[in-house]
Amino acid sequence: MNLIIDVGNTYVKLAVFNGDKIKVKYVIKLENLLNHIEFLKKEYKSINKVIISSVAKLKEKEVKYIDKNYNLILLNFDTKIPFKNLYNTPETLGIDRIALVSASVNYFPENNALIIDAGTCITYDFITAKNEYLGGAISPGIRMRYKSLNNLTANLPLLETETPNSIIGNSTNTSIHSGVVNGVLKEIEGVIEVYEQKYPDLTVILTGGDANFLSKQLKSSIFANSNFLLEGLNYILQFNSN
């Protein structure tokens, strides 16, 4: 069994994989990581391999403890990956994007694929049918857009994400919802359209925290998977174990 550790600023996602399948998944606070590792050691004695993303956010004692108990991979730009990385600055490519592209290679080998991760930022990553990663784009995510309207103006309120009823907002609040949500939807659909013009056989994957919210409203045919990043990390771990 494999243990996947995806470290965020405040929370950590942990997933236990049996082969390609997630057996169990947890979201815990960062400060509770070692206690939960202890729990998993007792609960799943057959875990022997671990991969950690965003290792810089962990304390040295946490990394040493995990390394002592398991075969550990700390994901970085030097880690062996299952695709050819043609990014001009590979050392700056986010490891979350590396994991997402790896998941695409696993799910859709020899496909032109566009992976859209709708989280804090919206990232677009493209890999060709020849297994060559070319790059993509980064833009503000939904919550970042709501917050920027509030932070960078004097009078606009901070709103919770909401599906607009109409393209025409008839109040400040409905105008904000229309601008933010419809803006994101039209951006994503526009990016997909540009890629499809060049690659008609394109496979589109949508993941991230806002994937479910957006997938119901997008017109494009997409493959939505909220666990795509975890599955990509697991595939990298398997790829380095062979």
Domain edges within the chain? 2-74, 108-226
> Does CATH number 3.30.420.40 belong to domain 108-226?
yes
What's the alpha-carbon Rg for the chain, to the nearest Å?
19
**Where is the binding site for ATP, in residues?**
6-13, 120
Look up the pTM and report it: 0.92
Q: What share of the chain is helix, strand, coil (3-state, %, to 5)?
A: 40, 25, 35
> pLDDT of 78-104, one tens digit each?
999 999 999 999 999 999 999 999 999
| Average pLDDT value for residue range 225-235 | 95
> pLDDT of 101-115, one tens digit each?
999 999 999 999 999
Reported as a pLDDT band with limits 50, 70 and 90, residue 11 is confident
* CATH code of the region 2-74: 3.30.420.40
**Where is the binding site for K(+), in residues?**
117
**Residue 96 annotated as catalytic:** yes
| Average pLDDT value for residue range 139-162 | 96
Catalytic residue among 20, 67, 78, 96: 96
Q: Do domains 2-74 and 108-226 have the same CATH topology?
A: yes
